[in-house]
Structure 1
Amino acid sequence: MAPALINANPVVYEKKERPVRSRPGDGNFDEYATELIDQLEIFDHIRDIKDPEHPYSLEELKVITEDAIEVDDKRSYVRVTFTPTVEHCSMATVIGLCLRVKLMRSLPSRFKVAPGTHATEDAVNKQLNDKERVAAALENPNLVDMVDECLTPSYE
């Protein structure tokens, strides 16, 4: 028997249409690590991450928004503040891990990544900002499969 969803009927928003930004290569930041990286660039990389419980992207559920991304290119710093669909979301750490992994795989190593907002925000951030905990989580094959599933693009 499948577990009950925390938010069985989330509000789903329409995705914004975006012009394609021309960048060299396959979209990996390493090829242009010295070029300016801005809020829109970060949002374009994380907007299609799928929610672990629903077939919608984090953008469609308004878990992430452009306005909730801070970028300080000079300090090589990115902060993504995310808002789960419900205050007591049990998937907040998984969502944060998906965001962190996506940005770790995409951003040049000069950037620091920090996630965001939840009823137990301090505990979630403590887990996601602890390199040993993240490394241990990424050694769990079931968790890695879940993260990879969330990061797999959907072409609806």
Structure 2
Amino acid sequence: MTQFDNANPVIYQTKERAKTDLSIFDDTQVDEIDAGEIFDLIRDINDPEHPLTLEQLNVVQEELIKVEKTEREQFVHVNFTPTIPHCSMATLIGLAIRVKLFRSLHPRVKVIVSITPGTHNTEDAINRQLRDKERVAAAMENSNLIYAVNKCLTPRE
């Protein structure tokens, strides 16, 4: 029998999906990335422990996503909230979010994934790991870890 960190998570109502605006296919229009678009990319990531999405567990929320643009760069800041303060899957969840955005966004977009302040016992250590490009790259060379990340990113039927 598998032991869960959070055996009985609270399940939240999901947001209605936005209708596709056909103007996104118009090459003459500049389509800026916004928090809603980032949320749509990550909302369906699967939780590593439960057959639920990160949105259903309220781990990711559109309100915790910020998109900033300077003259030279664009930044996407994603805060995520583990379901419990001692969640052992927090690093894997952060890595799944980071990999999903890395695969989905232009390489010039800088992605910063962090635990929502005050929501995890070891948030500083996990945030350092998620910001360290070399550690993330090394993690993605680990076949067991990439399998776990891909499992989180595989759409459910």
The TM-score bracket by the shorter chain reads 0.7 to 0.9
Q: Matched residues in 1 for 2:59 and 2:79: separation?
A: 9
Asked if 1:9 is matched to 2:8, the reply is: yes
Q: 1:80-133 CA deviation, whole Å, 9 max, x = no partner?
A: 000000000000000000000000001111211112222211111111111111
> After TM superposition, where is structure 1 displaced by more than 4 Å over at least 4 residues in a row?
none
Alignment match, 1:121: 123
Normalised by the length of structure 2, the TM-score is 0.87
Q: Matched residues in 1 for 2:43 and 2:62: separation?
A: 9
> 5+ residue gaps in structure 1?
25-30
Normalised by the length of structure 1, the TM-score is 0.88
Q: Matched residues in 1 for 2:31 and 2:47: separation?
A: 30
Aligned pairs for 1:4-153 within 5 A: 4-22=3-21, 23-24=24-25, 35-74=31-70, 75-117=73-115, 118-153=120-155
Which of the two has higher C-alpha Rg? 2
CA RMSD of aligned residues (A): 1.8
CA contact under 8 A between 2:46 and 2:54: conserved in structure 1? yes
Number of residue pairs matched? 147
Percent of pairs with identical residues: 56
